[in-house]
Amino acid sequence: MDLTTGTAWLRFSHDGTELARYVFEPWDVQLESPRPYFHPLRTLAGDVVSLYRPHDHVWHKGIAWSLPHVGPANFWGGPTFRRGRGYEQLPNNGTTRHLSFGSVSGSSVREELAWDTEQGERWFTESRALTFAVADGSWTLGFATTFTNVWDAEIVLGSPTTNGRANAGYGGLFWRGPRSFTGGEVTVPGRTGGDELMGVRAPWLAFRGQHDGSGRFSTLVFEAESAESDVRWFVRSTPFAAVCPAPFFDTEAPVAPGESLSYRYRIVIANGSPDPAELVGRG
């Protein structure tokens, strides 16, 4: 992978095609919970497989590590779901701030970040590792994070589902797909379908969609590693394409002062319609 650096982004390319742009200094307004994100993401064939700031949820940005319920704070963007009240826009949209890069190359990036509330309190620090690998017909993005409570009190991580909204357990490494992927095909081991797979437990989940214009297909395989092998998935095929391995789907995680949580994922982005099972573990 070839790397180009800018003042606010890193660009990763292969054979002249930009495959990923990592924006580490976003220019978002506070309501959108500014945080680093990947967009655009492309296949090796050059097809874009991410969506930036859709009108229905302007805080959705390609692929981003986003958490909607961090204690009373929202590091997802937009309104917060409150039990018995529904969604309300509150003064609680936090910022995930880039602090520094430990190392940067065409195959790996190490980054230090901080999670600051809208009121300016620092609740978490984060160490993030990104990896990039190209294979025949596909490439793989690796994402690993360890974040540590640096506040002086316990912070509980959850989701809209843990706060009372059924089947809305989003939060984690969230992908928003192109509009043409609406109605796309979702696959987990031994099963293929669509929206009925919301909340399924599986070690990996694949999404296949078709592009406007060319009519070509692309396939993305999301894989959880290590202790999260039985991850529960937030997935939508309609009214839009979205995937999120959701560690707090229906279970809250209290994080004590000084305690850390770690998660690792792989996303394989492939040309066409290969068997997703054959892409698992690639990269």
Q: Is 58 exposed, middle or buried (0-12, 13-18, 19+ CB in 10 A)?
A: middle
Give the β-pairing of 253-255 and 155-158. antiparallel
Residue 282 has pLDDT above 90, yes or no: no
Rounded mean pLDDT of 109-129? 98
Residue 193 has pLDDT above 80, yes or no: yes
CATH code reported for the domain at 2-278:
2.70.98
Amino acid at 143: F
Q: What are phi and psi of 199, to 5 degrees?
A: 85, 5
Can you give the pTM of this predicted structure? 0.96
pLDDT at position 227, please? 54
Rounded mean pLDDT of 87-115? 97
Please give the angle made by the CA atoms of 111, 112 and 113, to the nearest 5 degrees: 120
Provide the pLDDT confidence category of residue 68 given band limits of 50, 70 and 90: very high
What's the whole-number average pLDDT of the chain? 96
Which DSSP category does 61 fall into? B
Cα gap 151→72, rounded to integer Å: 14
pLDDT at position 135, please? 92
Provide the pLDDT confidence category of residue 281 given band limits of 50, 70 and 90: confident
Residues sharing a CB contact under 8 Å with residue 135, sequence separation 6 or more, in sequence order: 282, 283
- Cβ atoms of 237 and 10 within 8 Å: the answer is no
Residue 229 has pLDDT above 60, yes or no: no
- Cβ atoms of 26 and 34 within 8 Å: the answer is yes
Rounded mean pLDDT of 218-239? 87
Rounded mean pLDDT of 117-126? 98
Rounded mean pLDDT of 212-229? 86
Separation in Å, CA 34 to CA 23, 50, 102, 250: 11, 18, 21, 25
- Cβ atoms of 255 and 156 within 8 Å: the answer is yes
- Cβ atoms of 161 and 225 within 8 Å: the answer is no
Long-range CB contact pairs, 35-40, < 8 A, 24+: 35/64, 35/65, 35/66, 35/75, 35/95, 35/96, 36/64, 36/65, 36/96, 36/98, 36/111, 36/113, 37/61, 37/62, 37/63, 37/64, 38/62, 38/63, 38/64, 38/141, 39/63
pLDDT at position 242, please? 98
Provide the pLDDT confidence category of residue 187 given band limits of 50, 70 and 90: very high
pLDDT at position 155, please? 98
